[in-house]
Structure 1
Amino acid sequence: MNNQQFSIIDRIKSFKYAFNGLKLFFLNDHNGRVHLFAAIMAVGLSFYLKISALEWIAILSVISAVFVAEIINSSIEKLADVVSPDYHPKIKVVKDLAAAAVLVAAILAVAVGAIVFIPKLVL
């Protein structure tokens, strides 16, 4: 068990590291930029269509889910590349599973977007 004292400075530093991770994600990950573009478009359309508070919750939740899944996927891929720089069938399975998580989140985001936006765009 760690007996370190609670430190506000250490907590603030942890935010610095987290924001640095976001910066690295958006600068170095092509899929991160694609998801960011899609998120900006969804938020812009949400403002334009004046969606309800519950619809905002749904849209922002699925945007967050896609980002979280993609960040975890990217982390797993980078770690796997360090652990096993050469092709390994078990590493491939791990990478494929992580990519599948992003796919599931993205499909959910598209479904929620369709449920929220299509009725407003068709009317």
Structure 2
Amino acid sequence: MGSQDPLKPNEWIRLKKSFSHAFAGIIKTFMSERNFKIHTGAAVIVIVCGFVFRLSVLEWAVMFILIGGMLALELMNTAVEHVVDLITKKSHPLAKAAKDAAAGAVCVFAAVSCIIGLLIFLSKLF
């Protein structure tokens, strides 16, 4: 730890592969998950509105935290659903509980994000 040595060539390859896998996961989720598309569309609308309403730097920071958090949480929800489906195809109360909790986390963050977004954008109107 604390070494100033640059990454060795095969470490760069591993790093590149890890980013490649991450982007592949984002793209696959976008292509296959309706809710991720909805959240991405909402993010585009929020960004356009941010330019229209001339958000401050702090307001942009809040918006990007909310957008990034929402998309990241939707990716995690998808991961939970896939893992549960991999473990069991049968209807099981714990499988349902896991999926419902992950979806609930997305719902809570979406609601809070909407409230914060409304506070920011409505303050620009009034």
TM-score above 0.5: yes
The AA in structure 1 aligned to 2:81 is E
Q: CA deviation at 1:58?
A: 0.7
Q: CA deviation at 1:65?
A: 1.0
2:106 aligns with 102
The AA in structure 2 aligned to 1:53 is V
5+ long unaligned stretches in structure 1: none
Structure 1 distance, partners of 2:50, 2:87, is 42
Deviations 1:10-68 (A, max 9, x none): 10111111110110011011000000010000000001111000000111111111111
1:71 aligns with 75
Q: CA RMSD in A?
A: 1.1
Structure 1 distance, partners of 2:59, 2:11, is 38
| Structure-to-structure mapping, 1:43-54, within 5 angstroms | 43-54=47-58
5+ long unaligned stretches in structure 2: 1-7
2:118 aligns with 114
Q: CA deviation at 1:119?
A: 1.6
Q: How many aligned positions are there? A: 118
Identical pairs, percent: 31
2:40 aligns with 36
Structure 2 distance, partners of 1:106, 1:74, is 15
Structure with the bigger RCO (C-alpha within 8 Å, sep 6+) is 1
2:95 aligns with 91
The AA in structure 1 aligned to 2:92 is H
Runs of 4+ deviating beyond 4 Å: none
